[in-house]
């Protein structure tokens, strides 16, 4: 019995069956269409899936600010509650389908919210580190006081001097701590940090060199 031949054609000696992916790709190329290719559609789908997964990391306050459908918001909240791997995978696929229905403006807003959340967190961490550096320099270095006033002229100098003086006394009087245990910091040390943080919230602090820890002064 003669086997029925598949319909198709040859390109550079290679047989291309009608209806195959290669056939569709060649026809699209010959047609010169501006329609997205399967590769482009797959890439777009993967990107939307990733944004959908990132939505799960967005804080509730950030999610509430976005203009999203109730169905999508419910799907995101449900995905957060699911612990089963397969169940979560199916839920994320559902979120991906809902993401494809979003307007471009909504996707831009989601990306901006995610960026603000991540970038804001990084900025807060950097701000805390800089405040700690200033506090330690004010306690460890006499010249840091004048440097601080040049950057933050509105600071209450009497309060600042008093806190620095007391923090230095507390550091000298503090007993040695057991190995592996951090030193207990006195009230002046904490209040000095608070004063520094309050002033820095109004004016960005310049970057500072590394300074010795308070423990090294004892």
Give me the residues of the chain with pLDDT under 50, please. Answer: 1, 178-183, 205-218
Residues 91, 131, single domain; the answer is no
**Total tally of structural domains belonging to the chain:** 2
Distance in angstroms (rounded) separating the CA atoms of residues 151 and 153: 6
Q: Does residue 111 form part of some domain?
A: no
Check: CB of residue 23 under 8 Å from CB of residue 30: no
Q: Where are the alpha helices (DSSP H) in 66-211?
A: 70-81, 85-99, 104-140, 144-151, 157-173, 187-200
pLDDT of amino acid 35 = 55
Distance in angstroms (rounded) separating the CA atoms of residues 159 and 157: 5
Q: Does residue 141 form part of some domain?
A: yes
Distance in angstroms (rounded) separating the CA atoms of residues 79 and 107: 19
Q: Does residue 162 form part of some domain?
A: yes
CA distances from 189 to 9, 21, 62, 121, 165 (A): 82, 70, 35, 25, 10
Q: Does residue 72 form part of some domain?
A: yes
Residues 93, 144, single domain; the answer is no
CATH number of the CATH domain containing 156 = 1.10.60.30
Residue 210: domain span: 124-174+185-217
What tens digit of pLDDT does each residue of 107-139 get? 888 988 888 887 766 677 788 889 999 999 999
Cβ atoms within 10 Å, residue 55: 23
Report the Cα–Cα distance between both ends of the chain, in Å, rounded.
98
Residues 132, 78, single domain; the answer is no
pLDDT of amino acid 47 = 82
Q: Does residue 147 form part of some domain?
A: yes
Residues 145, 213, single domain; the answer is yes
The residues, ordered by sequence, that sit 6+ positions from 132 with a Cβ below 8 Å of its Cβ are: 193
């Amino acid at each position: 019995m003669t086997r029925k031949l598949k319909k198709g054609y040859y390109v550079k000696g290679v047989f291309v069956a009608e209806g195959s992916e290669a056939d569709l790709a060649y026809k699209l190329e010959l047609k010169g269409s501006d329609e997205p290719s399967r590769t482009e559609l797959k890439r777009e789908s993967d990107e939307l899936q990733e944004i959908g997964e990132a939505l799960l990391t967005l804080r509730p306050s950030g999610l509430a600010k976005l203009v999203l459908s109730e169905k999508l918001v419910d799907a995101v909240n449900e995905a957060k509650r699911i612990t089963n791997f397969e169940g979560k995978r199916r839920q994320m696929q559902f979120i991906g389908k809902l993401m494809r229905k979003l307007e471009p403006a909504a996707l831009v807003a989601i990306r901006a919210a995610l960026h603000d959340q991540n970038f804001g967190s990084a900025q807060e961490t950097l701000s805390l580190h800089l405040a700690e550096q200033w506090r330690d320099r004010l306690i460890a270095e006499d010249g840091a006081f004048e440097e601080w006033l040049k950057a933050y002229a509105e600071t209450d100098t009497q309060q600042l001097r008093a806190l620095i003086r007391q923090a230095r006394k507390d550091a000298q009087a503090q007993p040695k701590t057991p190995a592996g245990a951090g030193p207990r910091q006195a009230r002046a040390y904490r209040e000095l940090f608070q004063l520094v943080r309050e002033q820095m919230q109004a004016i960005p602090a310049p970057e500072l060199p590394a300074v010795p820890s308070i423990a090294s002064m004892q």
